[in-house]
Amino acid sequence: MMAPWDLYVIITTNLGGGRPTLELVRQALAGGATAIQLREKDLPARELVELGREIRQLTHAAGATFIVNDRLDVALAVEADGVHIGQEDLPARVARELLGPGKILGVSTGTVLEARQAVADGADYLGVGSIYATKSKEDAGEPIGLAGLKAIRAAVTIPLVAIGGINSSNAADVIAAGADGVAVVSAVIGAPDIAAAARELLAAVRRARH
């Protein structure tokens, strides 16, 4: 399944400068975000489902893809477009079986070995990184750099969404190294003007491709 991965904005409310979650989503979509991921590790399932349903309506209206981080149950309950899992979450092959063929499965990878395994397990796209140092994810590990991204690009053919320390200044380098799009947290939802930050980053990604 293909989806537009140009600008993949991850919504983590505590990094949004005190603004309500749905406002973060609305502003990111207004700026052209092509995919939204809900990543709220601390919310109870009931609240996540309520929030997810509202985000699903917003993304559907905007023609954007909606992914839920980690919580396969929530993704299915809110009829999200898919789920994204890390190396320590539910095994990708199990997630693929439970999701069924019509939903998107994304897997976080940082090595060629992880990337190849994720593809074998049925991933539709890979989140690759961290490319650069980042403060948005405490367990991000050492950056793999552009060289790490290039190695994974050479090993697999499915879409790659690069993540970790990406902004409008370095997005072109990331696309040139083989990414199909960029995933960001603080570069967009931490900005004073979320929509403007999203527009600037999306423009940088699309310029790099032409």
Q: In this predicted structure, what is the pLDDT of residue 2?
A: 41
Q: Which residue in 123, 7, 19, 125 sits closest to 64, CA to CA?
A: 7
DSSP secondary structure string, 20-89? -HHHHHHHHHHTT-SEEEE--TTS-HHHHHHHHHHHHHHHHHHT-EEEEES-HHHHHHTT-SEEEE-TTS
Residues 81, 139: Cα–Cα separation, whole Å: 26
The residue-averaged pLDDT of 43-66 equals: 97
Name every residue whose Cβ is closer than 8 Å to that of residue 50 and which is 6 or more positions away in sequence.
Answer: none
List the CATH code of the domain at 86-172.
3.20.20.70
Catalytic residue, candidates 56, 137, 153, 199:
137
Give the dihedral sign, CA 13/104/110/198: negative
The residue-averaged pLDDT of 205-210 equals: 91
The rounded percent of the chain whose pLDDT value lies above 90 is: 90
Per-chain mean pLDDT for the chain:
95
Catalytic residue, candidates 56, 71, 108, 199:
108
Please enumerate, by residue number, every residue annotated as part of a binding site for Mg(2+): 70, 89
Tokens of 138: 């405490």
Domain 1-85 fold is TIM Barrel (3.20.20)
Tokens of 128: 């690759």
pLDDT tens string 77-95 = 999 999 999 999 999 999 9
Residues 155, 183: Cα–Cα separation, whole Å: 20
- Neighbour count for residue 15 (Cβ, 10 Å): 17
Q: In this predicted structure, what is the pLDDT of residue 63?
A: 96
Catalytic residue, candidates 39, 56, 96, 103:
39
Is there a catalytic annotation at residue 19? no
Q: Terminus-to-terminus CA distance in the chain, angstroms?
A: 24
Whether the predicted pLDDT of 139 surpasses 70: no
Residues 15, 166: Cα–Cα separation, whole Å: 16
Please enumerate, by residue number, every residue annotated as part of a binding site: 37-41, 69-70, 89, 108, 134-137, 165, 185-186
Q: Which residue in 205, 48, 58, 180 sits closest to 126, CA to CA?
A: 180
Is there a catalytic annotation at residue 108? yes
Residue ranges, comma separated, of all CATH 3.20.20.70 domains in the chain are 1-85, 86-172
